[in-house]
Structure 1
Amino acid sequence: MESTEVESDILRRVRTLLRELDGHHPACQCDRGMLRWTLHKKIDQNPSNSAVLVKILVKELERAERGDFRHYIIPLLHTLMYALIKAPCISDELCGRVYDFCKKLLTLPKPFCTVGLDYATRLKMERMAPGVLYQRMVISEQSLKSDPYPYQEKIFIFADPELLSEAICNALVTDTEAAQVSQSPRACMGYVILHAMQAALGEGCDISGLKARLQDMPTSDVEHWFQQVVSAVECTGHEPDRGQHVARLEKIYRAVLSCLRAGDAPLGGLQGTPLPNPNISFHLWTEDDQLWKELVLFIRPLSQSCEPDCLSQDLDNFEIQDIISDCECCEQTRFSVLSTDSGIERDLPAAAEEPFALCSTETEQYRLHRKGGIKKKPSPLESVAFLQAGCNGPGVKPPAKLQRRPGTPLDAVTPLQRLHTARIVLLGDDRVLGRLAQAYHALRKRETRRVFLTPRLNLQFYYIPVVMGQTNTLAVTDHAATSQEELCEVAGYLGRADPWYESNINTLCHMIPKLATMPSSPSKHLVTDLFITDVIAYYVRMGTQPVCLQVYAVKIFFNDPAQEPAEDVFLTELRTQVQESIAHKELSMTKKKTTLDGPGIDLTVTYRKVVVSDRAKELAMSLRSTGLVMKAIPADEAEDLVCLNVNITEIIRINNLSGRSFSAVANRLKTRDIKIRSTEQRPFTVCLDKDSRRTYRNVISVEVSPCLEPSYCLQKTRAMKLSLHGTEDVGLAKYMPKSLLLPINTFAGVIQ
């Protein structure tokens, strides 16, 4: 009777979760977004009910498939897989049913087939080696040393301190620090051992005796048995035999409990093993290149010989000199990192002797040197060797191009592996995403010239919208022209595209500020420590489907001809307005002209019209306008056209019997490339991504186009120089992505 009541309670919770996806939210709106969390927490309190939850979710998945309720499938799958990973033991028959259902999804369009293939691959491994998904997650998230599975992950939370209140930042710092206190490498290794044994042996495992034995062991012994378990589980992938896997773990299990006599401790049934919180670091985004610096230190931490006190200064001074500033400068022909030119004229070989200079005058080259100079000790972050030191093993290219001597063989070059995964979580509104687009574009340009992060790092982006009350100066300034709803256009688009993102992540928009400002109490700390950290962990663990947003490049020309044009990028919006500040000598003339022609300025707009047939059509128009807004985020999640929606406020002059009047008319354009110029030389302002900090004044002309991938520009330029016909896409360039897209991970991507 008790099992029936438990099953009924879990079924009721699952059905309530599905009703939320339909828009039928619970009576208490504050519970919205917590249904999934409370369901998993209930199972954590009684892990023996994991099989009941998985069985119910499988039935609901099969019912959703029969009833064509496709919007239920991916949320139910994520809920099921998260429960299955944390479950102490799931029967092979139940895993087989989930596996068969995931294979059926391969016949459906994206994203169902993509999610189905991902989970089918994981379930196949889990069936061969029970507990492998839990083990790999803990090893990578905690960066435990393991040769069979050497992957590492880290979560970087970036928050703009000018967009979030101090209370929110302090609460998040406190929560992330508290999440790391309760976990240690020894405890996490013990969790892996306990979960692997219980997943393989089931109820035949004396989990209480094993736990007591591990607590009495020294750390070195725990690490030894941890390595034994990891090797036993990972080698099952090479020998797909579940029976041998169980036999190997049973042998290790008996060796660990060798000092206990058989039957000393009664079997306590299935017990849950905690899933530790991932490694999370919180960062206030105060520097433009802070993202790149943190990623470099994650891949290649400072060695013990580096002084920690010099770290901050070294990071500030470190700068790659040959970063391309824009796509056009890819036309440079020299791409070397280090120069071998000493600057002394007699060191240079003659033109005829140049090919043989290195061999014939080797002794003299060592003899000639500068005198009287000051030798500067390079900092670890100023040298190329610092970036390459993490990959100095056999088969890896040296940091600089070395001169090859006769008879010296070169090591065989082997491809690098992406052993590190950086999960970047952005907190804020569209303005912080604009900063991310800038940082991502700068990072891609760095990687074009000197590839370091790309072959070694798997970079994932996540976005949690947070809107607070207007408490600081910047928020008040931006709020005058932009409402809170408009500040979260990206979150609104992602929520419409992915209902599971809307239920679990968009609900944090107002919940995080509310929890941060709650009065201090034991219950408050209990809720915040568990809920916020758990939701972020769930998001980064299960959010694997990216939604790619187009980044747009903008070139800005100023009223002063002596001022160099500015180049920038934006992700969500570009807004122009007529500039109010006018020189005194032009004031009387401007007033007279404005009285005749009406408010605004005369503009010339040249753009390429976007149509469904994808046939480009160049158009030009002249009009008088008070401003325009370019929106890059689609208004509809099903819109396939990647384009800018431009709204231009046009001033129309009307002549009637009562005199001359003016009316404002909205012109709407769809384009990818657009040029706007003031014909009467009156300046206007340009604001990017709704951020008042990114406002350009005294602008006379603007050019906007999709931002090109820097590596594509470089490869195209190289290929065109070698091509006789000057074709644009030749060689490898035609196989490379052309546009720079910013991927934001969600649970399902875009569901059509």
Structure 2
Amino acid sequence: MESTEVESDILRRVRTLLRELDGHHPACQCNRGMLRWTLHKKIDLNPSNSSILVSILVKELERAERGDFRHYIIPLLHTLMYTLIKAPCISDELCGRVYDFCKKLLTLPKPFCTIGLDYAARLKMERTAPGMLYQRMVISEQSLKSDPYPYQEKIFIFADPELLSEAICNALVMDTEAAQVSQSPRACMCYVIIHTMQAALGEGCNISSLKASLQDMPTSDMEHWFQQVVAAVECGGGEVSSDRAQHTARLEEIYHAILGSLQAGDAPLGGLQGAPLPNPNISFHLWTEDHQLWKELVLFIRPPSPSCEPDCLSQDLDNFEIQDIISDCECCEQTRFSVLSTDSGIERDLPLAAEDSFSPGSAETEQSRLHRKGGIKKKPSPLESVAFLQAGCNGAGAKPPMKLQRRPGIPPEPAAPLQRLHTARIVLLGDDRILGRLAQAYHSLRKRETRRIFLTPRLNLQFYYIPVMMGQTNTSTATDHAATSPKELCEVATYLGRADPWYESNINTLCHMIPKLATMPSSPSKHLVTDLFITDVIAYYVRMGIQPVCFQVYAVKIFFNDPAQEPAEDVFLTELRTQVQASTSPRELSMTKKRTTLDGPGIDLTVTYRKVVLSDRAKELATSLRSPGLVMKAIPADETEDLACLNVNITEIIRINNLSGRSFSAVANKLKTRNIKIRSMEQRPFTVCLDKDSRRVYRNVISVEVSPCLEPSYCLQRTRAMKFNLHETEDVGLVKYMPKSLLLPINTFAGVIQ
């Protein structure tokens, strides 16, 4: 009877979660975002109910497929997989039903087939080696040392202190610190051993005896058995001919060896208990420097030594280029750098004493001739040290170090391909303005990687976005236009919420919830709380958000009224806004008033653009009009529209002559384009504001050119290819297969569901 009540309660919670996705349940609006969290927390309190939840979710998935309720499938599938990863033990028959359903999704369009294929591959390994998904997640998120699975992950939360209040930043720092208080490497290794044994042996595993043995065990022995368990699981999941019985037998041997003198039957089994899934490694950063994102990624690849002083490290990073990191790296030795020296480098100019002290033809003589003297010795910084270079370039997957001097006749060893062993998950907190800063930082990072590739072959970069709204925010620029409304500041989040209902339910609800939780009075025992809502939601988002939505980054070239001033180049992601600049001198002010009285408000503009048509044929158009300003929107109002298209809204001032005198009317013109040029025909300049950010305002602008931002690596390779094909006007060779535009991917749970 009790089992029936538990099943009914779980079924009711799942059905409530589905009704929330329909969007016509007012009673659930106050709990949006909490239903999924409370459902998982209920299972965490009693892990033995995981099989009941998985069984219910499978039935609901099959019902959604039969009834063609496709908007239920991806949320249910993510909920099921998250439960299955944390579940202590799931029967092979139940995993088989989930696996068969994921294979059925391969007949559906994207993103259903993409998610179905990914989860089917994971489930195939999990069925052969139970506990593999949990084990890999903990190892990578906690950066545990493991040769069979050497991957590492880290979550970087970036918040702009000028966009979020101090209370919100402090609350987020406290939450991230409190969530990792009990996360020691020893505890995480213990969790992996317990979960893997229980997943393989089921109720035959004596959890109490296993915990007691691990608790009394020295750390060195704990690490030994942890490596044994990881090797067994990776071997079982990696072998094609391996089956579940062989995997269970291997782990059973390790299980009895861990217990030692204790016997599994000495104490009651106690049923399934499960092991908690530790919170991932999270670091919180206030985005105060332009290149802070790049610096953190470099330090993630190779953290500094404990003896490195923070002040010295910060100073070195400020004057630090990628060329400085890997100038001596074996994997990038095709480019060599000289060392500053005072001698000529010619053999006959060397002192005679160097030759007299050695016999001709000896090895010492040859070494002396290759040796340079009189060079200036520079004290290496922590980031330029040999240890930094070797650890950064000679990790797992990189080729072993080799001497620069090569013996004649012996070909060099082929370089082993680098592996992306590190995954950086960048979580942005704020509104569209912080995404504009991200577009700038991402473009700068890609340019650095084009000049000297370092991070790209070693780092898997993932971006996530959580909107946070501070209420009424004044973002007025120097032109004193009206304050931007909160809705306009979260256009990207609104678009993602329409495209992905699960993102709307779990992430967009944090927009106003985070400020509300930050202002709540803190509890004296808050540092002891482990079930922190915000941290748990962020962890769920980065773990299950695997489908990117790619936004086009636009390049803008700005010309100023002063011919001596160099044009400025920048990028934007969401919006470009222009407005007539107010006159400063009295003479200009009087001339402006006369001009406005005669021709109306605004300035005369020439607009040249390439019209977007369905046939995708280039169609150049040009027009002249009088306008007080215009707005270019890169984020469409509807998720079905093309993301790689600018919606330009220009307000045109039309003069009307009638019997009562002269009047003016405003007409809204809308254009769809990817390339546009705007130029002022008068001497009056205008201002340009990028991504609604008052810190990114350009004044005294006379002309603006906007086009899709090109991928820096594409530009470099195209330039090189054109050198050898001077008469070719189109892309030749491998260049035509490279991504041309720079796209910023932001991960969601489902991507864009049409």
Question: Aligned runs of 1:9-28 on 2, under 5 Å?
Answer: 9-25=9-25, 27=27
TM-superposed deviation, 1:25: 3.4
In structure 2, distance between residues paired with 1:126 and 1:4? 28
SS at match of 2:625: strand
What is the TM-score with the length of structure 2 in the denominator? 0.92
**SS of residue matched to 1:283:** strand
For the residues of structure 2 that align with 1:474 and 1:649, how far apart are their CA atoms? 19
Q: CA deviation at 1:264?
A: 1.4
For 2:278, which of 268, 276, 279 is the aligned residue? 276
Query: 1:83 is matched with which residue?
Result: 83
Cα distance, 1:681 vs structure 2? 2.1
1:582-621 matches, within 5 Å, as 582-621=584-623
- Alignment of structure 1 residues 363-382 onto 2, 5 Å: 366=370, 370=374, 375-381=377-383
Q: Which residue of 2 aligns with 1:150?
A: 150
Give runs of aligned pairs for residues 122-137 of structure 1, distance below 5 A: 122-137=122-137
TM-score after normalising by structure 1? 0.92
Q: Do the aligned partners of 2:548 and 2:745 also contact (CA within 8 Å) in 1?
A: yes
Match of 2:505 among 500, 503, 506: 503
The more displaced of 292-301 and 309-318 is 309-318
1:587, distance to aligned residue in structure 2 (A): 3.1
Q: Does 1:638 align with 2:636?
A: no
Task: Give the aligned partner of residue 669 of structure 1.
Answer: 671
SS at match of 1:485: helix
Per the alignment, residue 326 of structure 1 pairs with none
Q: 1:702 to 1:724 in 2, by over 3 A?
A: closer
Q: Which residue of 2 aligns with 1:267?
A: 269
In 2, are the aligned partners of 1:319 and 1:382 still within 8 Å (CA)?
no
The CA deviation string for residues 55-104 of structure 1, in whole angstroms up to 9 with x for no partner, is 00000000000000000000000000000000010000000000000000
**In the aligned structure 2, how far is the partner of 1:396 from the partner of 1:751?**
39
> Does the C-alpha gap of structure 1 residues 391 and 367 become closer, same or farther in structure 2, counting only changes over 3 Å?
closer
Cα offset, 1:572, TM superposition: 0.1
1:192 aligns with 2:192: yes
Contact 1:322/1:449 (<8 A) preserved: no
Residue of structure 1 in register with 2:329 after alignment: none
Which of 490, 493, 501 is the equivalent residue of 2:492? 490
Deviation at 1:170, TM superposition (A): 0.1
Per-residue CA shift, 1:529-586, capped at 9, x if unaligned?
5211110000000000000000000000000000000000000000000000343343
- Secondary structure of the 2:490 match is helix
CA distance in 2, matches of 1:343, 1:594: 67
Residues 271-310 of structure 1: per-residue CA shift (max 9 Å, x gap) = 1210000000000000000000000000011235644442
Instruction: Find 1:340's aligned residue among 305, 317, 338.
Output: 338
Q: What's the CA shift for 1:493?
A: 0.2
Q: Aligned match of 2:534 in 532, 537, 553?
A: 532
1:380 offset after TM fit, Å?
2.8
Question: Alignment partner of 1:27: what SS?
Answer: helix
Structure 1 spans left out of the alignment, 5+ residues: 324-334, 351-360
Q: Does the Cα contact within 8 Å between 1:175 and 1:529 map onto a contact in 2?
A: no
Matches within 5 A, 1:541-620: 541-620=543-622
Conservation of the 8 A alpha-carbon contact between 1:26 and 1:32: no
**Counterparts of 1:508-527 in structure 2 under 5 Å?**
508-521=510-523
- Alpha carbons of structure 1 residues 470 and 731: separation in structure 2 relative to 1, 3 Å: same
Report if aligned partners of 1:338, 1:400 keep a CA contact under 8 Å in 2: no
Counterpart position of 1:442? 444
Q: 1:378 Cα shift?
A: 2.8
> Of residues 695, 701, 704 in structure 1, which corresponds to 2:703?
701
Partner SS state of residue 181, structure 1: coil
Mapping of 1:264-413 within 5 angstroms?
Answer: 264-304=266-306, 306-320=308-322, 338-340=336-338, 347=345, 366=370, 370=374, 375-381=377-383, 386-387=388-389, 389-392=391-394, 396=398, 404=406, 406-407=408-409, 409-413=411-415
Distance 1:617 1:398 in 2: 55
CA contact (8 A) 1:685 1:695 kept: yes
Residues 398 and 557 of structure 1, relative CA distance in 2, 3 Å threshold: farther
> For the structure 1 residues 401 and 678, does the alpha-carbon distance in structure 2 shift closer, same or farther, using more than 3 Å as the test?
farther
Closer, same or farther: CA 262–7 of 1 in aligned 2, 3 Å: closer
Q: Is the 8 A contact 1:103 1:117 kept in 2?
A: yes
Secondary structure at the residue paired with 1:693?
A: coil
Question: Distance between the aligned counterparts of 1:251 and 1:393, measured in 2?
Answer: 32
- Offset of 1:30 from its aligned partner? 2.8
* Inter-partner Cα distance in structure 1 for 2:111 and 2:432: 25
Match of 2:49 in 1: 49
Offset, 1:481: 2.8
Residues 203-242 of structure 1 deviation map (CA, whole Å, 9 limit, x = unaligned): 1111111111111111111111111111111101214211
Q: Tell me the CA shift for residue 402 of structure 1.
A: 5.1
SS at match of 1:745: strand
Tell me the distance in 2 between the aligned counterparts of 1:214 and 1:267. Answer: 16
Which stretch of the first structure deviates more once superposed, 522-531 or 58-67?
522-531
Aligned residues: 730
For each residue in 1:656-689, what CA deviation from the matched residue of structure 2 results, as whole angstroms up to 9, or x when unmatched?
A: 0000001111100000000000011210000000
- The 5-angstrom pairing of residues 689-728 of structure 1 reads 689-728=691-730
**Conserved in 2, the CA contact under 8 Å of 1:644 and 1:671?**
yes
* Cα distance in structure 1, aligned partners of 2:52 and 2:677: 61
Deviates more, 1:683-692 or 1:221-230: 221-230
Where does structure 2 lack aligned partners over 5 or more consecutive residues? 326-332, 349-364
Q: Quick check: 602-611 or 411-420, which moved more? A: 411-420
1:507-550 deviation per Cα after TM superposition (whole angstroms, max 9, x unaligned): 00000000000112369778895211110000000000000000
Q: CA deviation at 1:408?
A: 5.7
- Mapped pair 1:417 → 2:419: yes
**C-alpha separation in 1, matches of 2:124 and 2:106:** 15
Q: Deviations over 1:348-407 (max 9, x none)?
A: 899xxxxxxxxxx98897576557x5x431313357984564223699579999575635
Q: CA deviation at 1:588?
A: 3.0
Q: Whole-Å Cα distance in 2 between the matches of residues 638 and 263 of structure 1?
A: 61
Which letter does structure 2 place at the counterpart of 1:392?
Answer: N
Rate the CA distance shift 1:731–1:654 in 2: closer, same or farther, 3 A. same
Mapped to 2, the partners of 1:341 and 1:362 lie a distance apart of 20
Q: Distance in 1 between matches of 2:735 and 2:135?
A: 41
